Amino acid sequence: MYEQYSALKIERRGRILILTMDNPPTNSMTPELHNELSRIFIDINRDAEAVVVVLTGAGERGFSSGGDPKNMARRIEEGDHASWAQGNYEAREIVYGLLRLERPLIARINGHAIGLGATLAVLSDVTFMMADAKIADSHVKMGLAAGDGGSLMWPLLMGFPRAKQYLFTGDTMTGREAAKLGLITHSVETFEELDREVYDLAGRLAVGASLAINSTKLAVNLILRKLLEGVIEAHLGQETYTYLSKDHYEAASAFRDKRTPTFEGR
C-alpha cells in the first residue's frame, strides 16, 4: 500500500513500520519528501499490520535539516508563491497527521534535527537522539516565524521562558542538553545504543495491548490537538507574513551566497 512513496523508504520489521527520510547526507526537505510526509500518517492509520512506527533519517549525519535555503531564495526570485502556498498546506497536514496518527511514533534521531526536522521530532511520542547531534527550530534565522508547530510544542515541553529564548535566537542545543531540558525523551552516546533503545521499546509496544496503547495515545493527543488545531492556521499565517518580508529573502540569499545576513526588520 506504500508503492507511491519514493522519498520515504518504508520497511517492515514484523509489526514495526520504519519510515526513513531518504535524502542523505542531511535529509533536507525536497518537495517530494515534504508531500509524502503530509500523506503517510493517514495511510498508516489504514494499515492493520503496522502497530508501532519508527521515524528516522538515512545515514548518520542528519535526521532532517529541514527546508533548503537555496530553494527558498529561488522561489522568491521567481515569484513562485504557489509552491509556498502548497508547502503551507502540506505543513498543516504534516502536523495534523502526526497528532492524528493512532499508532505510537518513536523518533530515532540519528543526527541533526533542524527546522521542520525539529518539529517532526518534538511531535513524536517518544524520542531517542544522538547525544552530540544538534536540534534547533531555526525559522528566525531564515527570517521566518516558527509557524509549523514549534511555537506551541517547544513551550509545552521545556517551559515558556526557556523556549522563547531558543525560538527567538534559533540557537542549537545538543541531544544531551535537549534531554535534560525535556525537549526530547532520551539521549544516547552511540549508534549501537540508539538502535538498541529504539527497537527494544518498539518491540515491547509491538507485543503490548495495542488497542489500549492506541487509545491512551489518542486520549493524550486530544489535549494537544485541541491546543494546536486551534492555532495552527494563525501560526502558519504568521510564517506567511514573514515569508513575504525582505529579511526572509536576505537570510535565504545570504545562505546561498555564503555570507552573513544583514537584517532590517522589514
Residue 195 confidence (pLDDT): 98
Mean pLDDT value across residues 52-76: 91
pLDDT at 1 over 90: no
Residue 63 confidence (pLDDT): 98
Which of the four pLDDT bands, split at 50, 70 and 90, describes residue 93? Answer: very high
Residue 80 confidence (pLDDT): 81
Mean pLDDT value across residues 199-221: 97
Which of 64-73, 107-116, 233-242 has maximum average pLDDT? 107-116
Q: Is residue 264 part of a domain?
A: no
Q: Is residue 106 part of a domain?
A: yes
Q: Is residue 47 part of a domain?
A: yes
Q: Is residue 178 part of a domain?
A: yes
pLDDT at 147 over 90: no
pLDDT at 76 over 90: no
Q: Is residue 124 part of a domain?
A: yes
Residue 74 confidence (pLDDT): 83
Q: Is residue 232 part of a domain?
A: yes
Residue 157 confidence (pLDDT): 97
CATH of the domain at 241: 3.90.226.10
Q: Is residue 196 part of a domain?
A: no
Q: Tally the domains of the chain.
A: 1
pLDDT at 183 over 90: yes
pLDDT at 178 over 90: yes
Which of the four pLDDT bands, split at 50, 70 and 90, describes residue 148? Answer: confident
**DSSP one-letter string for the chain:** --TT-SSEEEEEETTEEEEEE--TTTT---HHHHHHHHHHHHHHTT-TT--EEEEEESTTTEEE--S-HHHHHHHHHTT-HHHHHHHHHHHHHHHHHHHH--S-EEEEE-SEEETHHHHHHHTSSEEEEETT-EEE--GGGGT---TTTHHHHHHHHH-HHHHHHHHHH---EEHHHHHHHTSSSEEESSHHHHHHHHHHHHHHHHTS-HHHHHHHHHHHHHHHHHHHTTTHHHHHHHHHHHHTSHHHHHHHHHHHHTS-------
* 14-33 residue pLDDT tens: 999 999 999 999 999 999 99
Task: Show the domain range for 77.
Answer: 8-191+207-257
Q: Is residue 200 part of a domain?
A: no
